[in-house]
Amino acid sequence: MIMIKLKNVKTTYEGEKTPVIKDINLEVKRGEFLTVIGPNGAGKTTLLETINGLLESRGEVIVFGKDIRKFGTEIRKNIGYVPQDFSCDSLTPFLVKDVVMMGRFGKIGVLRSPSKKDREIIRKTLSFLGISELEKKPIGKLSGGQLQKVMIARALAKEPEILLLDEPFSNLDLNSRSDISGKISFLNKKEMTVIMVVHDISSIPERCKRIVLINNGKIIKDDGREKVLGG
């Protein structure tokens, strides 16, 4: 089943004339693990934001068989998204458990209280990522690596069918990087569709067999790991 389909897609930021990505044609099947690589400014983040319906674009962007521009709110309920370099003020009062619960708001409804099931999902998600001890810690007091794991937890709390990760290993030490890489691979084994952006190709999990190379806003290569990376 095709989960994501982009056909002749062009995305231009508001107020700009030159598109950041252009002539993008891409299909991603259910359960695929795809990594997007390319130089800074190539359009990698823009591609993720376009798939998630966060930017205006031209061409077809179809997710779960529906047009992201018409059904974006509904579609995003089943997409977990981890943005790049998320930061917050040290005085931000929210606790970790509250931030992770925000990942479920699309399914709970903003004006409804979390159920026992919702709280159990949060507990299991924190445990899965090995950060249960941070549950009651203010988000503003976390290290960069801890905050990164919390953002991943927030995305997973949604119980998504698609996981979009923008530099998920940034701010992580080597041990944490290996641990999170393994957990992403585990989720993919469970048929979660994963699209990940990285700048360090050595961090690409072994399970990922498809690599997309973007440069100057265009897909230059889209092929197997060995053919794109050359080894």
Co-location of 178 and 72 in the same domain: yes
Radius of gyration over alpha carbons of the chain, in Å?
17
d(CA 98, CA 103): 9
For residue 1, give every residue at least 6 positions away whose Cβ sits within 8 Å of its Cβ, in sequence order, or none: 29, 30
165 and 74, same structural domain?
Answer: yes
Give the type of residue at 24.
I
86 within 8 A of 151, measured Cβ to Cβ: yes
Q: Do 142 and 210 fall into the same domain?
A: no
For the domain that residue 193 is a member of, what is the CATH number? 3.40.50.300
Domain boundary among 114, 130, 159: 159
- Check whether residue 26 and residue 53 sit in a common domain: yes
Total domains in the chain come to 2
Please check whether residues 57 and 171 belong to one and the same domain: yes
Phi and psi dihedrals of 190, rounded to 5? Answer: -85, 15
Q: What is the pLDDT along the chain (231 residues), one digit of tens a residue?
A: 999 999 999 999 988 889 999 999 999 999 999 999 999 999 999 999 999 999 999 999 999 999 999 999 999 999 999 998 777 666 677 999 999 999 998 888 767 888 999 999 999 999 999 999 999 999 989 999 999 999 999 999 999 999 999 999 988 999 999 999 999 999 999 999 999 999 999 999 999 999 999 999 999 999 999 999 985
Domain containing 173 equals 1-78+160-231
Tokens of 94: 């929210």
Asked which of 97, 127, 159 is the last residue of a domain, the reply is 159
- The token pair that represents 113 in the structure block: 């209280």
Q: Are 199 and 40 in contact (CB under 8 A)?
A: yes
Domain boundary among 121, 141, 159: 159
